[in-house]
Structure 1
């Protein structure tokens, strides 16, 4: 048996904060979530997998664009023509009441809003049971694992779940414990919701596939899917990177010179040297040892002139683009005493919480687009953006 486990496609993700990009580059970035899933379908057909599992958040929001739904239907139809079944469930981003699925081709099975199990028989007569459910609301605080049946007589039993490990608080996403999953005696758990690919357990494999395309700097590194194959009486997952674009943070030392052209050339050369044979990279560049630079150049670095020039110079290099430039000394808020810094950090911990953001989005219910953007932003991103605003005020 051979199948693909993916999740969190987030088709049509808005890629907030990158609107200053040149149009061709922006179009490449914006289409990257589509490109990633198309690569998965390409691989599924080439490898002749038995089926594909998609564990939630196919779309980036509960109200999908026509472009996103049309694209997804066409990719599923490609799989249909190749006789590859698709088993999917909806997560907290694309939650919906599962009813008529007439738009999707016949090879697509959508799990309803209650835990159900479907069974298929492979060409070698192995039987495969697959259990899962779709979100019908953004938050599900109740543990759903107790509703999953234990393995019985099937050759293989696979669990699909879009959720997060139970925490002391903020258990909004179908919370579970690893021990609960192990107790079901399944052969594989195909998890979604966490965007970094990782194992929670090896025997049996309890696996987050991560999202196939990172959408912001907090989703750096390789992204892709898992190809899972049977070896004897066990299922063995292998990670396959496919992301069209990767996010990366680099730190380079400032060149000891007062010549701006030399500084910019050295920065570009340093990035080229560190990013050999990589997919296209969106770079957050930190410059260290800036005390070696003249006050004039430091000012040009701080006010964004150098960043803008580097972006213009490298817009067409096909390898990387700098989306942010930081100076090493900016780690702390300027002109703050130690006491001010302490109060700021304490206040930030109290303000930037999921509960506060949720409450804010309720008050913005009439502006659905703005509410969705706030909901989708990472808390760390919000904190960093606020910090940047305070720096500007200084």
Structure 2
């Protein structure tokens, strides 16, 4: 097999909205809007720097609801630049940019192949240096925004060809319930089709699902909400003489989303808590000096600071001040190293001796012992939650959400319930005479979550 190199990207979502940041100052809003275009520019730069033979894009270049003329023109400009360096592009349309969606009618350059709908199309890709054929690329686009059939079963390897085979598919493999189940399929479906590399799109979390054949989601190129944390980018894929594909991830994002935990144990007062948050901001700035960071702080644990957070609104006050400081930096165009605090998730409670409660011969002690025992194994956790949540299973939407929860998320539910029980049943009261809930996410945080899901 002739060795070659290609770039795999997906879910560009050019010029799309950022969830949960509707009240941003104009300077920062403009920078965020430009970030998806900046990531596209870096993608082109990586393709040129790596001397790739071609690029594959697995759907959702735009969002139909935000398909601006600027976004389409900037993408067309990027395609032309790739073409100027002899880099061919093969792409499909996904659920956010289906073929029937509104877009500027323009003739694409000859080096760009867009696969249609109905049946997977095929194209033969060549190596740039000598024009030798190296790969057969197959792909299928969404004709409309909702494709619910298993389109993976339509793919077939080109008969008699010994070239490397790449399939472009925008879909949900193995039923990831955090995303719409469009073009649903299983890993088994993909493995059995005879392709060497499945270039997937749709799921925004980077993931290598299988190594032989390679089945991979590169994730989106720029995070857009607190649910899209960590580095975002693309894969550069090196295929050797034996047909083995080696993947290297390349970061493309200019805005990095993250969630950071700040425990309140040991913090004596509001001043110490404020310093802890300010230090966390500076730590992030030092870790990512070339990027803008958007962070949500999770305030956890038990301690005296809980009263300040629950009664005085200290979190809201500090949030306003932190955002003011970063706004000043942005007005000076200092976006590199800027750390925008998106919000606080307050998950704190009053100081209490949990171990003593575990030893009590009481309803609360029994509840905590059951919680601890059930949380020690996946089977015990499922048994407890199945019994506790049985009444909710009559609601189809709740049933779908519960079915998609992982073990870590379920353990979080159990922990939250146990801590709430401690607060409500222990008889410990705060200074105002009422026990406050242990886990109390603010309305703003809840609103951001809903916006991120839409």
Q: Flag whether TM exceeds 0.5 (same fold).
A: yes
Question: Which residue is 2:346 aligned to?
Answer: 327
Question: Which residue is 1:305 aligned to?
Answer: 317
> Which one of 385, 391, 394 corresponds to residue 446 of structure 2?
385
**Structure 1 pair 207/62, CA: closer, same or farther in 2 (3 Å)?**
same
**Structure 1 pair 272/348, CA: closer, same or farther in 2 (3 Å)?**
farther
> Which one of 104, 109, 113 corresponds to residue 109 of structure 1?
113
Between 28-37 and 129-138, the greater mean CA deviation after superposition: 28-37
Distance of 2:38 and 2:317 partners within structure 1: 33
The answer to whether the 8 Å contact 1:97/1:113 transfers is no
Distance of 1:171 and 1:307 partners within structure 2: 33
Question: Which residue is 1:224 aligned to?
Answer: 233
RMSD: 3.4
Question: Which residue is 1:198 aligned to?
Answer: 207
**Structure 1 pair 47/166, CA: closer, same or farther in 2 (3 Å)?**
closer
The answer to whether the 8 Å contact 2:16/2:66 transfers is no
Give how far 1:290 is off: 6.2
Asked if residue 19 in structure 1 is aligned to residue 22 in structure 2, the reply is: yes
Distance of 2:67 and 2:104 partners within structure 1: 16
Give how far 1:210 is off: 0.7
> Which one of 3, 6, 22 corresponds to residue 6 of structure 2?
3
Query: How does 1:1-394 map onto structure 2 within 5 Å?
Result: 1-61=4-64, 64-97=67-100, 102-114=106-118, 115-122=120-127, 123=130, 125-151=132-158, 152-167=160-175, 172-233=181-242, 234-254=244-264, 256-258=267-269, 260=271, 263-273=273-283, 276-278=286-288, 279-289=291-301, 291-293=303-305, 295=307, 298-301=310-313, 304-315=316-327, 316=329, 318-329=337-348, 346=392, 350-351=396-397, 385=446
The answer to whether the 8 Å contact 1:280/1:319 transfers is yes
TM-score (norm 2): 0.69
Distance of 2:209 and 2:307 partners within structure 1: 50
**Matched residue count:** 352
Distance of 2:164 and 2:105 partners within structure 1: 27
Deviations 1:77-111 (A, max 9, x none): 11111111111110001111499974322221110
Distance of 2:175 and 2:262 partners within structure 1: 38
The answer to whether the 8 Å contact 1:300/1:306 transfers is no
The answer to whether the 8 Å contact 1:111/1:133 transfers is yes
**Structure 1 pair 110/101, CA: closer, same or farther in 2 (3 Å)?**
farther
Distance of 1:232 and 1:301 partners within structure 2: 63
Distance of 1:182 and 1:102 partners within structure 2: 37
Give how far 1:325 is off: 1.1
The answer to whether the 8 Å contact 1:2/1:50 transfers is yes
Deviations 1:21-72 (A, max 9, x none): 2222222222211111110001111222111000000002266110100110
Distance of 1:290 and 1:348 partners within structure 2: 36
Unaligned runs of 5+ in 2: 350-366, 368-387, 402-442
Deviations 1:252-273 (A, max 9, x none): 134735455x543331113323
**Structure 1 pair 294/10, CA: closer, same or farther in 2 (3 Å)?**
closer
**Structure 1 pair 326/238, CA: closer, same or farther in 2 (3 Å)?**
same
Distance of 1:42 and 1:16 partners within structure 2: 27
Which gives a bigger RCO, structure 1 or 2 (Cα 8 Å, sep 6+)? 2
**Structure 1 pair 22/257, CA: closer, same or farther in 2 (3 Å)?**
farther
Distance of 1:59 and 1:304 partners within structure 2: 35
Give how far 1:191 is off: 0.5
Distance of 1:212 and 1:171 partners within structure 2: 19
Unaligned runs of 5+ in 1: 331-337, 356-381, 390-394
Distance of 2:143 and 2:396 partners within structure 1: 30
